[in-house]
Amino acid sequence: MRKHKVVIAGVTLLAASLAMSACGTRAEQAPGGEAGAAKVAKIGVIAPLSGDLSALGAGIKNSVDLAIKQANEKQTIPGWTLEIDAQDDQATPDVGKNAATKLAGDDEVIGVVGTLNSSVSQSVQPVLSGAQIVQVSPANTNPTLTKGADLNNPERPYPGYFRTCTTDSVQGPFAAKYLLDEGIKKVATIHDKKAYGQGLVAAFSEAFKSGGGEIVSAETINPEDKDFSAVVSKTKGANPEAVYYGGEYPQAGPLSQQAKSAGLNVPLMGGDGIFDPAFIELGGKTSDGDLATSVGAPTEDLPTAKQFVADYEAAGYGEPYAAYGAYSYDAANAIINALKTSLASASDAKSARQATIDAMSKVSFDGATGPVAFDEFGDTTTKTLTVYKVEGGKWGAVKTGEGEA
């Protein structure tokens, strides 16, 4: 009987010894050399991952994922592991608000990259702001998101909101100057009534008229429309030399095709919302000659983006980085740069949320798109834009320059 007790005691001691040995091994493998597993901080993504704009959303998500994986590999934040939490906003404000609420309720979420649509961001901003979560958009261009409704008396509504892309107040005038320089003096405008499209057309129209041009017709469509015959007929009757469209490619492509079929054989020009191969697919062969502006210089031509492009391709993502990939990569890295400061002595992610917002205003680094830094409103300090033209079924850059705020 006594011998049996001794055997049991020996087994118990051996098990305890093995358990302690295993714990020691895990501690040695933890990033940053700290005892125990690395702490987790999540960077959320809010973007359209389904529906008509999913091509752009996938590029945003994948580019953020790449930045996070690289940061973990380099142990950029010692003692911490970064994770991505991507939420589908379906390009809809209410769905975006629900996505933001879900992320805000997760104590490990410390920042968010998104959204694609300015109208969605209007619903997302107050939710993330209320939870003290920093938001960096790679694609929102409506100027009111950073300067408030009265642009003549700008006041920043949400201190935790930043963006790596330039705004419509720069993009619209850039497009207007391009058309005026091309000798086009009469333009018809059409927008989809959403925040992005409406704001873009407003900025374009003001600059075009100030430059001596004439807006001969101003029409609107609904985002769910498929048949644009009525608006095309009204626009054609105004005899414009070009059509300026505020909205995105799911409507812009068919609008261009239907306009040409109806005999309105003038270029359709839009903003970054139509700059995607899908616009050409939807517009067909008659889209040749159509124009778009987009933020920054062409990614493939930027020396600063070569490594990003190579790394993205090497990562084997199933979708292209698209129009906002490099800006999403820089947005994620802006958050990661802020985390170097905010997480340095933090015990958990939630307690470092406000410190991350504070650190973002001081972020400055050389990104894939060039220098990344923010002004007092949270807007990017870089104002580079490019005009693209459809030629031979492909988008090609025709002019790159600096816009004026």
Q: How would DSSP label each residue in 41-73?
A: EEEEEEE--SSTTHHHHHHHHHHHHHHHHHHHH
State yes or no: pLDDT of 145 exceeds 90: yes
Decide if 39-166+301-374 and 169-295+386-402 have a common fold: yes
**Cα–Cα distance between 253 and 296 in angstroms, integer?**
23
**Cα–Cα distance between 160 and 130 in angstroms, integer?**
10
Q: What is the mean pLDDT of the chain?
A: 91
Per-residue CA distances from 255 to 189, 213, 244, 246, 291 (Å): 12, 23, 11, 12, 14
Domain formed by 169-295+386-402, architecture: 3-Layer(aba) Sandwich (3.40)
pLDDT category at 38 given cuts 50, 70, 90 is confident
State yes or no: pLDDT of 345 exceeds 80: yes
pLDDT category at 336 given cuts 50, 70, 90 is very high
pLDDT digits (tens, 9 = 90+) for 159-208: 999 999 999 999 999 999 999 999 999 999 999 999 999 999 999 999 99
**Cα–Cα distance between 170 and 179 in angstroms, integer?**
15
Question: What are the structure tokens assigned to 289, written together?
Answer: 């000659």
pLDDT category at 227 given cuts 50, 70, 90 is very high
Per-residue CA distances from 122 to 58, 92, 141, 195, 203 (Å): 21, 11, 12, 9, 19
Report CA torsion sign: 359, 45, 319, 396: negative
Q: Are strands 161-163 and 80-88 parallel, antiparallel or unpaired?
A: unpaired
* CATH number for the segment(s) 39-166+301-374: 3.40.50.2300
Query: What is residue 7's predicted lDDT score, i.e. its pLDDT?
Result: 35
Task: For residues 29-39, give the mean pLDDT.
Answer: 53
Query: What is residue 36's predicted lDDT score, i.e. its pLDDT?
Result: 53
Closest by alpha carbon to 352, among 363, 361, 342? 342
Query: What is residue 404's predicted lDDT score, i.e. its pLDDT?
Result: 78
Kindly state the percentage of the chain with pLDDT values over 90: 89
Question: What are the structure tokens assigned to 386, written together?
Answer: 């490019």
Q: Where are the domains positioned within the chain?
A: 39-166+301-374, 169-295+386-402
Task: For residues 228-251, give the mean pLDDT.
Answer: 97
